[in-house]
Amino acid sequence: MYDFSAFTHAAAWVSLLTLTLMEIVLGIDNIIFISITVNRLPEDQQTRGRTIGLLLALLFRIGLLLSISWIVGLRSALFTLPLPWLDEPFPVSGRDLILLTGGLFLMYKSTTEIHTKLQGEEEDENAAGKGKATLPQIILQIIIIDIVFSFDSILTAVGLVDNVLVMIAAVICAMGVMLAFSGVVANFVNKNPTIKMLALSFLIMIGFMLVMEAAHKEIEKGYLYFAMAFSLIVELLNMRLRKKSKAVPVQLRDSRYD
């Protein structure tokens, strides 16, 4: 059913490398969401939660790749909405509903996390031993957002490569890289409050982009990733500057001049 002979051609390996890099880039937002979400778990369950979340993402993406015809069918309109500001009825597809639901959920989840952080409730709850979510609750949230991220990622992959086996191999390679570095990313985000706040702001932007795509308003992802990269670089420079400022020894005044 699937043509394994494609891997005997150099073009297939170039496509595999390109698609793997693309999957890693598109999976960064997924890692950030999972890292922030599993932080609500007790410490001894956080690594397990991250691993399960990323493995679920892998299964969803492989499952979607094996149902490409179904994915293409999701672009077909399920019904239309007569909107007064449009000359023609607005077609709503299954893809639109998935992107809209995922985008709104991502914006809601990120906003509530920011609220909790600013109000100091997270620290108070942790100190009191409260507010810790259960593993099934976290896994359910990860499943919801994984469906959206996987869906968007697979649609992009289908436009680049026409061999399903190459797509599956790229997804597995990318997920292996993300599994290897997810712990490092999670620790870095959680140990630096400003980076965590920046990551949550990025997730709100991504959620808004998904909502706009559901409304058939395409936003160039390159602009979004440039803004994210620029903001991250600025914050890393600020962190380095603060670290250097703290390292400067305090000079004591000579009492002879008082």
Overall pTM surpassing 0.85 (yes/no): no
Q: Give the C-alpha separation, 41 to 137, whole Å.
A: 10
Task: Please give the backbone phi and psi of residue 254, each rounded to the nearest 5 degrees, phi first.
Answer: -80, 125
Q: What is the DSSP letter of 129?
A: T
Q: Give the C-alpha separation, 115 to 183, whole Å.
A: 25
**C-alpha closest to that of 20 among 133, 139, 176:** 176
Please give the pLDDT value at position 140.
81
How many CA atoms does the CB half-sphere of 183 hold within 13 Å? 10
For residue 93, the SS3 value is strand
Per-residue pLDDT tens, the chain, 258 aa: give them: 455 666 667 777 887 888 888 777 777 777 888 888 888 888 888 888 888 888 887 887 788 777 776 776 777 888 888 888 778 888 998 888 888 888 898 898 889 888 887 776 555 555 444 456 788 888 888 877 777 777 766 766 666 666 778 788 888 888 888 888 888 888 888 788 888 888 888 888 888 988 998 888 887 877 887 888 888 898 888 888 887 777 655 554 555 555
Q: Where are the domains of the chain?
A: 11-239
Please give the pLDDT value at position 128.
46
Per DSSP, helices labelled H in 39-67 are: 43-65
